[in-house]
Structure 1
Amino acid sequence: MPYYDSPVDGTRLHYIDHGPADGPVAVFAASAYIGHEMWEYQTLPLAEAGYRCVALDRRGHGRSDAPWPGFGLDTLADDLHGLLDHLDLRGATLIGHSIGTAEALRCVTRHGNGRVAGVAVVAGVSPGVVRSPGTPDGVDPAVLRADDEVFRRDRAAWFLAGVDAFFAAHLPGNEVSPEYVRHLIDRCLITGPRAAMGIRGVVAALDIADELPGVNVPVLVVHGTDDTSAPLDRTAERVARLVPDSTLKVYERGGHGLFVTHAERLTADLREFIDTGAARSTALTAAKADA
């Protein structure tokens, strides 16, 4: 299985690398608690269509090692950039979901655009959902601390209780099978309590509004109207306003789990965005060669 060592502290990190090596490159950063498996409705069809799909298991998630330290946004972004370096990827489109969007955006603002052609922000919690200087109308931190205690007592019950809201499953067309729900929760529970609380801490501290005007690659923002985890007006709409080159696509009846309920539409939108970035990267490479 493919592994590489974190450039920060040597933690062994797992990733998948599917599709042709010479295809347009998409690099996926997953949601909290779960590894690359969440992206199956995007990575499989894209790889089958000739795209190179790389997806990371964040430290403490999936098949990656689970160290005690390292749960800060800079470290997670450095881990992601380390994967780009490890595979020597160029012209990659970074695709993040939920907290994975912050890792992708920080990867660009921290490391530049030398390897990145664009960023897709899918149901992101960026630029922040908890009250902070950059998000004054965010969730009261006390509410999050109380939820942390519920999570600590029984993570399995916490995940199950949140299924309907996560998928907006009460809305027409958003039904998911009990079998899939069980599968996803099982994958989430592979992430141990330390990593789970670590990533919750990243979400609680997230406040990246100030750095978004410095994102110097095109950004596709995809969000659902019924995302209760990351309300549209506090997240996606703000990202679209703050990033200089951004496109916002809003999915009606989409919840946080739109990567499942709206899978075909999301995959098609990602494919179009990847193609645009790949064409731009090729043109820039050609221009440099001619200079």
Structure 2
Amino acid sequence: MPFITTDDGTEIFYKDWGNPDGQPIIFSHGWPLSGDAWDVEMKLAADNGFRAIAHDRRGHGRSTQTWFGNDMDTYAADLDALVRALDLRDIILVGHSTGGGEVVRFAAKHGIGRVAKIATAGAVPPVMVKSETNPEGTPIEAFDGIRDGVLADRSQFFKELAEPFFGANRPGAKVSQGAKDQFWRLGMQAGFAAVYDCIKQFSETDFTEDLGKIDVPMFIAHGGDDQIVPIAAAAEKTVKLVKDGTLKVYEGAPHGIAGEYQQELDKDLLEFWKS
């Protein structure tokens, strides 16, 4: 299996599909998942002539279960190490949830001159946690509850979290049991320290300055019924902070990408990649 090794010895697993000479698309996954969460979109990209790459963030999936470095700056540096190891240029970045934060931080700190486009879905920027300057955010007590749930019984907590993640708690929801099981399976592959530490990173990291540095086209997708990353504190603010952003709201769609939402989003992503 392909890995790159970072300066601190962490092994980062990645998948590399499609045309090796095609324009690279890097997919960054959400918490607490792995690159496998993007398999459908990776196949879509590869089938259309792109080079599709997805890595497992440190501490997640098949990458090293790190005790240190589970922070957004290191995540972005790890992605930079992967980009440089593969000598990637003219990159399209795609990030979901926490992965949306990772690609934004990478683009602002490391991607100038290498990144061509960015697409995010249900992404955490600018900042999730509620404060005086971010009254639309989620109260810190909610994230403390996530920490408590992970510590008390991570397996059961992930099973319960899958319900609002995919909107399965809404009347008429059509999400499959398989999708919820996959969320649990990928989450349980992650290292415990990384799962716990990343909660602070996706909830409290402020990406406002990063967004201001992004001058490439950015497609910002968000479910109108996202119960995990509320749109008012996220996409609706992000589109105002970037220089060339387009916001599309998928009415009634949840945080997790599945079913009809996935089908519609994938059509839009392909159009954006080819534009």
Give the TM-score band, short-chain normalised. over 0.9
Indicate if the aligned counterparts of 2:179 and 2:258 stay in contact, CA closer than 8 A: no
After superposition, the Cα gap between the structure-2 partners of 1:214 and 1:79, relative to the gap in structure 1 and judged at 3 Å, is same
The alpha-carbon deviation at position 202 of structure 1 amounts to 0.5
Q: Indicate the SS of the match to 2:159.
A: helix
- Of residues 177-186 and 102-111 in structure 1, the stretch that sits farther from structure 2 once superposed is 177-186
Q: How many residues align?
A: 275
Opposite residue 63 of structure 1, the aligned amino acid is: R
After superposition, the Cα gap between the structure-2 partners of 1:97 and 1:65, relative to the gap in structure 1 and judged at 3 Å, is same
Name the residue aligned to 1:62.
61
1:269-290, CA deviations, whole angstroms, 9 ceiling, x for partnerless residues?
11121122xxxxxxxxxxxxxx
The alpha-carbon deviation at position 218 of structure 1 amounts to 1.2
Name the residue aligned to 1:286.
none
After superposition, the Cα gap between the structure-2 partners of 1:145 and 1:264, relative to the gap in structure 1 and judged at 3 Å, is same
Indicate if the aligned counterparts of 1:134 and 1:208 stay in contact, CA closer than 8 A: no
Name the residue aligned to 2:213.
214
Name the residue aligned to 1:141.
140
The alpha-carbon deviation at position 259 of structure 1 amounts to 4.7
After superposition, the Cα gap between the structure-2 partners of 1:67 and 1:15, relative to the gap in structure 1 and judged at 3 Å, is same
Indicate if the aligned counterparts of 1:99 and 1:203 stay in contact, CA closer than 8 A: yes
Name the residue aligned to 1:157.
156
Opposite residue 191 of structure 1, the aligned amino acid is: A
Q: Indicate the SS of the match to 1:154.
A: helix
Equivalences for residues 241-280 of structure 1 within 5 A: 241-276=240-275
* Separation of aligned partners in 2, 1:173 and 1:39: 25
Indicate if the aligned counterparts of 1:97 and 1:121 stay in contact, CA closer than 8 A: yes
Opposite residue 68 of structure 2, the aligned amino acid is: P
Indicate if the aligned counterparts of 1:96 and 1:121 stay in contact, CA closer than 8 A: yes
- Percent identical across equivalent pairs? 35
Opposite residue 209 of structure 2, the aligned amino acid is: D
> Over aligned residues, Cα RMSD in angstroms?
1.7
Q: Indicate the SS of the match to 2:42.
A: helix
Instruction: Determine whether 1:93 maps to 2:108.
Output: no
After superposition, the Cα gap between the structure-2 partners of 1:44 and 1:113, relative to the gap in structure 1 and judged at 3 Å, is same
Name the residue aligned to 1:2.
2
Instruction: Determine whether 1:33 maps to 2:32.
Output: yes
- Of residues 253-262 and 233-242 in structure 1, the stretch that sits farther from structure 2 once superposed is 253-262
The alpha-carbon deviation at position 83 of structure 1 amounts to 1.2
The alpha-carbon deviation at position 46 of structure 1 amounts to 2.0
Indicate if the aligned counterparts of 2:218 and 2:245 stay in contact, CA closer than 8 A: yes
Indicate if the aligned counterparts of 2:59 and 2:70 stay in contact, CA closer than 8 A: no
- Of residues 115-124 and 261-270 in structure 1, the stretch that sits farther from structure 2 once superposed is 261-270
The alpha-carbon deviation at position 260 of structure 1 amounts to 4.8
Name the residue aligned to 2:11.
12
Q: Indicate the SS of the match to 1:262.
A: helix
Opposite residue 43 of structure 2, the aligned amino acid is: L
Give the number of the structure whose alpha-carbon radius of gyration is greater. Answer: 1
Structure 1: 5+ residue stretches without partners: 277-291
The alpha-carbon deviation at position 135 of structure 1 amounts to 2.4
Opposite residue 142 of structure 2, the aligned amino acid is: V
After superposition, the Cα gap between the structure-2 partners of 1:173 and 1:245, relative to the gap in structure 1 and judged at 3 Å, is farther
1:59-112, CA deviations, whole angstroms, 9 ceiling, x for partnerless residues?
011110112100111110111111111111111111000011111011111114
Name the residue aligned to 2:117.
118
* Separation of aligned partners in 1, 2:132 and 2:6: 31
* Separation of aligned partners in 1, 2:202 and 2:111: 23
* Separation of aligned partners in 1, 2:245 and 2:156: 38
- Of residues 206-215 and 170-179 in structure 1, the stretch that sits farther from structure 2 once superposed is 170-179
* Separation of aligned partners in 1, 2:9 and 2:133: 33
- Of residues 38-47 and 226-235 in structure 1, the stretch that sits farther from structure 2 once superposed is 38-47
After superposition, the Cα gap between the structure-2 partners of 1:36 and 1:174, relative to the gap in structure 1 and judged at 3 Å, is farther
After superposition, the Cα gap between the structure-2 partners of 1:133 and 1:27, relative to the gap in structure 1 and judged at 3 Å, is farther
Equivalences for residues 100-115 of structure 1 within 5 A: 100-115=99-114
The alpha-carbon deviation at position 164 of structure 1 amounts to 2.4
Indicate if the aligned counterparts of 1:174 and 1:261 stay in contact, CA closer than 8 A: no
Indicate if the aligned counterparts of 1:24 and 1:275 stay in contact, CA closer than 8 A: no
TM-score where L is the length of structure 1: 0.89
Name the residue aligned to 2:179.
180
